[in-house]
């Protein structure tokens, strides 16, 4: 008969306890792989996958949906990139509102809501952020994912000790190996981030995209905020859009893409494709270093007492009061700037005009953006 | 480069599983209860990693 010592019996009990804890925590981690529902609106004429442009992404965590909206009249083409950093939900939701509401009468628009789809499947350990947040629509609550900045390590690991950007050779932090917005223009035999970046470049080249807009948000203590960052070839368009925004009473600055900071959309898409590459930033305290406890309200209301304190000490690059920077304001800024950029594209190049309809105004979005989310009940899941 | 990264990934997984086996062996054979409990807490993330959950 098998006889076990007391130490071994205790050891086996401890291992069983560990396995039980693993079993309890596993569903929470696996639930992150469930995507939120998208309801393409009346303007969507076709849905493709990024792997249709670069086969190397097929059956990988980097493959993602590409929605196409097309008008009857010929015109320009625009590409909207949401969720390059999935912990910046205003970017994903801006593309979502275009996807679910926009109609196009002239030109063509490509929308990728989850550009870094892998990044939506995890949170950064230690950040203590919610896995998802709800938006109350007229037909009930919808939930959306609060992901992580980089690609999920289970899809791309290990990181290089020092990330060497291709093709510039610029050296960056090792964790930027999984940062999609340090991986452009990408390469077919590179890391997952580089392959996704390459797929996006292929889409831009094959579809002859005139204007590419990449949505981001930044922490209030980061100087590059409430800004349009544009490749030097896109400066005319960006400056025209900025003027339009300022005339509408919306404060936004403009910055030319630094030539020696590589891997970002506004630099590499402009250098390696013919598109006008533009990136936008709005304030997001849920990724900030000064924030207190991070709750769903932190994401949606954008309010935090420590940031009010930080503003009083003069440590922030945006005004910050008790009202904070709500998600609706961030969305309104992104969507209004997008309209201004597309208008400017047509003004600068009349043959590249894109006419978009059914997009709410800045005030309508700030007051009640919830009205423009498709209600969950009446929709067809994609 | 892709092949090299795949090699690193496989090497990393082998190391994780190797550490996990040693940790489990320690939990069973160690006489000190404190060390047993500490090693048990360490294997939880290792199991999640080995199973490709995190």
Residues A98-113 have pLDDT tens digits of 999 999 999 999 999 9
What's phi and psi for A57, nearest 5 deg?
A: -90, -10
Average pLDDT for chain B: 90
Beta bridge partners of A88: none
pLDDT at A244 over 70: yes
Task: Write the residue in A7, A18, A157 that is nearest to B43 by C-beta.
Answer: A18
Least confident of A176-190, A271-285, B2-16: B2-16
Q: What is the mean pLDDT of residues A241-257?
A: 96
When pLDDT is cut at 50, 70 and 90, the band that residue A181 belongs to is very high
Mean per-residue pLDDT for A66-82? 97
Q: What is the pLDDT confidence band of residue B6, given thresholds at 50, 70 and 90? A: confident
Average pLDDT over residues A256-274: 97
**Apex CA A343: angle with CA A337 and CA A348, to 5°?**
120
* CB spacing of B43 vs A191 below 8 angstroms: no
pLDDT digit string (tens) for A300-338?
999 999 999 999 999 999 999 999 999 999 999 999 999
Q: How many angstroms separate the CA atoms of B41 and B43, rounded?
A: 6
Q: Sorting pLDDT into bands at 50, 70 and 90, what band is B4?
A: confident
Whether residue A380 is predicted with pLDDT greater than 70 in this model: the reply is no
Taking contacts as CB-CB distances below 8 angstroms, the residues of chain A near B25 are none
In terms of Cα–Cα distance, which of A25, A262, A225 is closest to A125? A25
Q: In whole angstroms, give the CA distance from residue A316 to residue A309.
A: 10
Q: Which helix (H) or strand (E) holds A283?
A: strand A276-283
Beta-bridge partner residues of A134: A143
- Indicate whether A379 pLDDT > 60: no
Q: Who wins on pLDDT, A8 or A113? A: A113
Averaged pLDDT for residues A184-188 = 96
* B28-41 residue pLDDT tens: 998 889 999 999 99
Helix axes A6-31 and B2-29, enclosed angle (nearest 10) = 140
Alpha helices in A102-233 (DSSP H): 192-207
Record: contact A14-B36, CB cut-off 8 A: yes
Nearest partner of A95 among A76, A79, A72, judged by Cα: A79
The arithmetic mean of pLDDT across residues A333-354, rounded, is 97
Buried b (16+ CB within 10 A) or exposed e, B41-50: eebeebbbbe
Cβ contact, residue pair A7, B5, below 8 Å = no
pLDDT value at residue A382: 47
pLDDT greater than 80 at residue A148 = yes
The predicted structure's pLDDT at residue B2: 72
Q: Mark yes or no for CB contact A15/B27 under 8 Å.
A: yes
Predicted complex ipTM: 0.91
CB A259 within 8 A of CB A222: no
The overall average pLDDT reported for chain A is 95
């Amino acid at each position: 008969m098998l006889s076990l010592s007391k130490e071994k019996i205790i050891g086996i009990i401890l291992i069983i306890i560990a396995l039980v804890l693993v079993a309890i925590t596993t569903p929470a981690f696996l639930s992150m792989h469930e995507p939120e529902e998208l309801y393409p609106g009346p303007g969507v004429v076709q849905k493709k996958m990024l792997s249709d442009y670069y086969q190397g992404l097929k059956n990988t965590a980097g493959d993602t949906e590409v929605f196409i909206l097309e008008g009857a009249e010929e015109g320009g083409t625009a590409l909207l990139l949401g969720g390059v950093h999935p912990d910046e939900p205003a970017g994903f939701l801006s593309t979502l509102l275009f996807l679910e509401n926009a109609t196009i009468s002239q030109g063509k628009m490509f929308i990728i809501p989850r550009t870094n789809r892998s990044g939506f499947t995890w949170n950064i350990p230690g950040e203590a952020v919610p896995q998802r947040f709800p938006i109350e629509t007229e037909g009930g609550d919808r939930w959306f994912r609060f992901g992580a900045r980089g690609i999920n390590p289970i899809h791309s690991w290990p990181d290089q000790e020092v990330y060497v950007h291709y093709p510039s050779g610029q050296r960056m932090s090792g964790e930027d190996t999984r940062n999609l917005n340090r991986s452009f223009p990408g390469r077919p035999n590179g890391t997952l981030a580089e392959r996704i970046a390459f797929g996006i470049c292929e889409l831009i080249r094959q579809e002859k995209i005139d204007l590419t807009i990449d949505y981001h948000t930044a922490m209030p203590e980061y100087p590059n905020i409430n800004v349009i960052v544009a490749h030097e070839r896109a400066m005319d368009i960006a400056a025209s859009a900025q003027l339009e925004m300022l005339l509408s009473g919306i404060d936004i600055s403009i910055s030319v893409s630094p030539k020696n900071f590589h891997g970002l959309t506004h630099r590499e898409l402009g250098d390696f494709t013919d598109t006008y590459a533009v990136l936008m930033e709005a304030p997001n305290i849920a990724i900030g270093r000064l924030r207190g406890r991070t709750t769903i309200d932190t994401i949606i209301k954008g309010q935090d007492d420590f940031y009010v304190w930080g503003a009083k000490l003069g440590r922030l690059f945006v005004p910050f009061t008790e009202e904070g920077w709500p998600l609706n304001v961030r969305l309104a800024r992104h969507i209004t700037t997008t309209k201004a950029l597309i208008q400017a594209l047509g003004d600068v190049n009349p043959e590249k005009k894109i006419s978009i309809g059914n997009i709410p105004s800045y005030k309508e979005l700030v007051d009640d953006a919830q009205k423009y989310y498709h209600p969950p009940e009446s929709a067809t899941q994609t | 480069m892709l092949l090299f990264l795949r090699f690193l990934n496989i090497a990393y997984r082998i190391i994780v599983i190797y550490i996990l086996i040693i940790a489990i062996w320690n939990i069973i054979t160690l006489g000190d209860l404190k060390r047993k409990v500490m090693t048990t807490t360490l294997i939880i993330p290792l199991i999640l990693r080995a199973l490709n959950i995190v």
